[in-house]
Chain A
């Protein structure tokens, strides 16, 4: 347990360890084209080592180094082998078994098809494949995104990855939308990897662009589509100058909620496809969604510069439902790791600081429940018009204790649209509010004054009690 003088901060998870854990080491021989599927609780650790000379193995496309120990916590994952291998496993898994039927062949085929397009774009100097992955919750959209990204990196590309799913952050806190180009391998133990830190990182850090959405569901409120538009503009501009990433193309991971649709209409999917000029749509797991989208994009009325290829992929047998309890723990672990780092060997030291109420310019996202007319693609005036009320200014109170504030690059006097469209510098956590002295105790990733910028407070991610003990 690490502590910071005067504040008694702790990086330890709030869960208690119920029983002393028996450390059992066993070896597992995997046949070719099978995977070892495992689930580890947040309070447990599972260590996996690929034994040298027994074959190769990969974790969502990222190859394991032989004889290196990888430790997992709060993870539901799978180690796949193309040609068979032997793993040495230490620790206790909630569930573990060998999966024989996987979708790796079709996912690798998807990679090969994308590689051909990248190869073409290399010659034509045009854009590489622009991919959107859609499908219901828990069908493996993010896993597919990781596999495609890992394989692309392995093939020497620098793909851009865009996460539009606020329920789980990519290189950032939940509630955010982010994008980053990947030129180095994914961190096997730490999701997508780490955003920049002030010191060295064993796996190279990734450089994300982050916007804060502040709600859990993209179908609620009226922020999602303008932010998609903003993100698309930023990514498009970046790719104009970034030849490597332009030729590698991009991969967009999307939230399951947008694949629900209303009577065969998928406004958010269509919005993303139009804004990013997506030309390949991978549909996982839902036959109905595939059929609807095929109809939409094969329709001759669909007026586009370039056709959209709609491709159906099957859901992997390894996909498990992640219930709300797990997702909540997962998000809290993401937030904890934003401030404290992922593990002991690169633990980060956040800074505790006091601020006056007047120092904070907090803008709370107005819930979608009382939202006005739906935003529709093409309603430009609504997006970039003036006087729209998106946020309400709030003064600190005990209501905001334990919540996460997104520090934008906008100033407190800016219009709401400007605040919404400005990227995020980082997050601070409200550890304590003193209503009498009108002071707040904040946890900031780094030392220095609390920035005077506009801060966004959303209903998502939810409060994180116990981040600071």
Chain B
């Protein structure tokens, strides 16, 4: 960030601090500042994200409206910078909001999936990947909230109904049902956004209403900051026409009886698979949340059992496999988090691709290397090429082909400085390696922080494996083949 950039960002920050209500003039001013300073978009975006993250809950929504206004009225590069962390920005705020504000946020999200109204550009405001991840998380949040309802609710059980149509709304009797507060926080937190305690008391009923409205209501009007607060007390949840009186009577085949034998060793039978749903509300939720009518298991207990493998956990799978890491490498498809660490990793990863391409272009003769020996393999540790320690231990993209060609960078004084090889007690010789632009010790390996001559180490390892390698010692200590060893 240049100093000028920092200045602009600081101004923008000051203006944001004053934004304590949904005020159109203030939001317009902030949008204009952003528009006139697109060259500092990154700094401004960061300030805005920070503000949304740190400001008091009741001031978050106006700040989100600033974000909305900027991405819709200015567009790129803000959509890019703000899109990177949008998941965190949005979800973190969402979880500590009350239900009315959440609804407003859902309205915002909905407009972000569409093109800017009256714009020539047919693309959505944010890339579909960005909004999809947020939606996945919201759906999961609702699922989790729903599952927190105690299973013992003494409401008469009903058979699993045929999935009602998408726009099915809860029957009016619903308000008489008041779920007790949550007693059991989820044991496995959401992968990217743990539920803060504050959000737990949100009753499932409210969520259901929210969701029903969100699904059934026409898209809310374009929520560019309006003079009146968008926030409205939540009091007319059941305005939707009552389209389907009750779930149809028992007509669907019930879930197959669980007849497969379970190994007793597996512990308790998964309780997450009720044959009947405790109440209609869950069924209604389910048909809206998931595309399949199957049950969603409580997520803190994916049992290792045959039955558990058949449960459809689509949303959980999507959020685990595609949710948390949304920034993808264009060359190999690997995904990275959108956190600062994730960005560093990705930069390093892309750097490696570049280095590989460059040296492949040099077209040197290469060949298969020998496999490493047993002893060496046992001491070997994988290091992720994108992790910060990848270079510092002297690993290179190319595995040195000969023992004598191995090298390590000359260690710093603080890392112990110059020490002779512990095996032969001789000093290392300094070499300059032009391709690495670094001074190194040739014929050297780093094993657990100590530097040895590679040849000495190999000799030593071979000697060791000729006699009895490391793991054979285990046997001497009593663990014998064919007998159960304790890990």
Residues of A that sit less than 8 Å from B by CB? 53, 56, 62-68, 82-83, 105-106, 108-110, 112-113, 115-117, 119, 126-127, 129-130, 151, 154-155, 158, 172, 181-185, 195-205, 207-210, 226, 229, 232-234, 236-239, 241-242, 244-245, 271, 274-275, 277, 280, 290-291, 294, 297-298, 304-305, 307-313, 338-339, 341, 345-346, 348-351, 377-380, 383-384, 409, 411, 422-426, 445-447
Contacts and interface: CB of A to CB of B under 8 A. Distances in A.
Interface stretch (B93-101, B261-269, B420-428): B261-269
Contact of A425 (B128, B364, B373, B483): B373
B125 to A, nearest CB: 15
B481 A109 contact: no
17 contacts: A63-B334, A65-B332, A82-B322, A182-B382, A198-B398, A198-B399, A229-B482, A234-B378, A237-B471, A239-B487, A309-B263, A311-B305, A312-B260, A377-B482, A378-B482, A384-B481, A446-B368
B266 A426 contact: no
A309 B265 contact: yes
Nearest to B311: A109
B29 to A, nearest CB: 35
Contact of B367 (A115, A130, A446): A446
User: Quick one: which of A291, A308, A310 has the most chain B CB within 10 A?
Assistant: A310
B431 interface: no
Contact of B316 (A53, A112, A154, A307): A112
B482 A199 contact: no
A238 B377 contact: yes
Contact of B385 (A151, A184, A210, A310): A184
Contacts of A349: 365-367
B462 interface: yes
Contacts of A425: 370-371, 373
A185 B334 contact: yes
A117 B304 contact: yes
B379 A305 contact: no
Given A116-B302, A425-B373, A445-B368, A345 B360 contact: yes
A348 B368 contact: yes
Given A65-B328, A113-B303, A202-B353, A383 B481 contact: yes
A64 B333 contact: yes
A68 B330 contact: yes
Interface stretch (B64-72, B211-219, B240-248, B472-480): B472-480
The 3 closest A-B CB pairs, nearest first, are A307-B265, A199-B366, A65-B333
Contacts of A110: 309
B433 to A, nearest CB: 15
B374 A409 contact: yes
User: Quick one: which of B335, B359, B378, B397 has the most chain A CB within 10 A?
Assistant: B378
B401 A446 contact: yes
A309 B481 contact: no
Given A105-B310, A197-B367, A233-B475, 20 more contacts: A63-B328, A68-B333, A82-B322, A105-B312, A181-B381, A195-B368, A195-B369, A196-B368, A198-B366, A201-B397, A239-B487, A245-B382, A290-B306, A297-B263, A298-B264, A309-B265, A311-B305, A409-B373, A445-B368, A446-B368
Interface string B398-414: 11110000000000000
Given A199-B364, A199-B366, A63 B371 contact: no
A65 B474 contact: no
A346 to B, nearest CB: 7
A241 B379 contact: yes
A115 B299 CA distance: 12
A244 B367 contact: no
Contacts of A185: 332-334
Contacts of B399: 196-198, 205
Contact of B485 (A53, A207, A236): A236
B186 to A, nearest CB: 13
Contact of B309 (A226, A311, A378): A311
B382 to A, nearest CB: 4
Nearest to A155: B320
B4 interface: no
B85 interface: no
Contacts of A290: 306
B188 interface: yes
B439 to A, nearest CB: 22
Given A308-B265, A309-B266, A207 B481 contact: no
Contact of A445 (B367, B377, B397, B398): B367
A402 to B, nearest CB: 19
Contacts of B316: 112
B450 to A, nearest CB: 15
A199 B128 CA distance: 39
A317 B472 CA distance: 44
Given A112-B316, A233-B471, A313 B483 contact: no
B192 to A, nearest CB: 13
Contacts of B472: 233
B383 interface: yes
B369 A197 contact: yes
Nearest to B462: A409
B367 A202 contact: no
A115 B313 CA distance: 14
A208 B481 contact: no
Contacts of B378: 234, 237-238, 241
A423 B481 contact: no
B122 interface: no
